[in-house]
Amino acid sequence: MQVASVLILFIVVLVIILVPLAVRIVPQGMEYTVERWGRYTHTLEPGFHLIIPIFDRIGSRLSMMEQVLDVPSQEIITKDNAMVRVDGILFYQVLNAAKAAYEVSHLEYAVRNLTMTNIRTVMGSMDLDELLSRRDEINNRLLAVVDEATNPWGIKVTRIEIKDITPPKDLVDSMARQMKAERDKRADILEAEGVRQADILKAEGQKQASILRAEGMKQSAILEAEGRREAAFREAEARERLAQAEARATAMLSKAIEEGNTQSVNYFIAQKYLEAFGKLAESPNQKVLMLPMEATGILGSLAGMAELLKEGGFASAKSDRKEG
Highest mean pLDDT among 1-10, 107-116, 219-228, 305-314: 107-116
3-state secondary structure at position 292: coil
* 8 A C-beta contact, residue 64 and residue 93: yes
| Residue 45 DSSP code | P
- Please give the pLDDT value at position 321: 47
Is the pLDDT at 108 greater than 50, yes or no? yes
Q: What is the pLDDT of residues 2-58, one digit of tens each?
A: 777 777 877 878 778 878 888 899 999 999 999 998 899 999 999 999 888 888 899
- Please give the pLDDT value at position 63: 93
- Please give the pLDDT value at position 267: 64
- Please give the pLDDT value at position 120: 92
The rounded percent of the chain whose pLDDT value lies above 90 is: 32
Question: Given phi > 0 = left and psi -120 to 50 = alpha, else beta, which region is 94?
Answer: beta
* 8 A C-beta contact, residue 123 and residue 76: yes
Is the pLDDT at 318 greater than 70, yes or no? no
Average pLDDT of the chain, as a whole number? 81
Q: What is the mean pLDDT of residues 231-248?
A: 80
- Please give the pLDDT value at position 152: 93
What is the Cα–Cα distance from 235 to 232, expressed in whole angstroms? Answer: 5
Q: Supply the angle between the helices 295-310 and 312-323 in degrees, to the nearest 10.
A: 90
Q: What is the pLDDT of residues 248-272, one digit of tens each?
A: 777 776 776 666 666 666 666 666 6
- Please give the pLDDT value at position 6: 76
Q: What is the pLDDT of residues 156-200, one digit of tens each?
A: 999 999 988 888 777 777 777 888 888 888 888 998 998 889 889
* 8 A C-beta contact, residue 150 and residue 106: no
Q: What is the mean pLDDT of residues 265-281?
A: 63
Per-residue confidence band for 92, with pLDDT thresholds at 50, 70 and 90: very high
Which helix (H) or strand (E) element contains residue 64? none
What is the Cα–Cα distance from 177 to 192, expressed in whole angstroms? Answer: 22
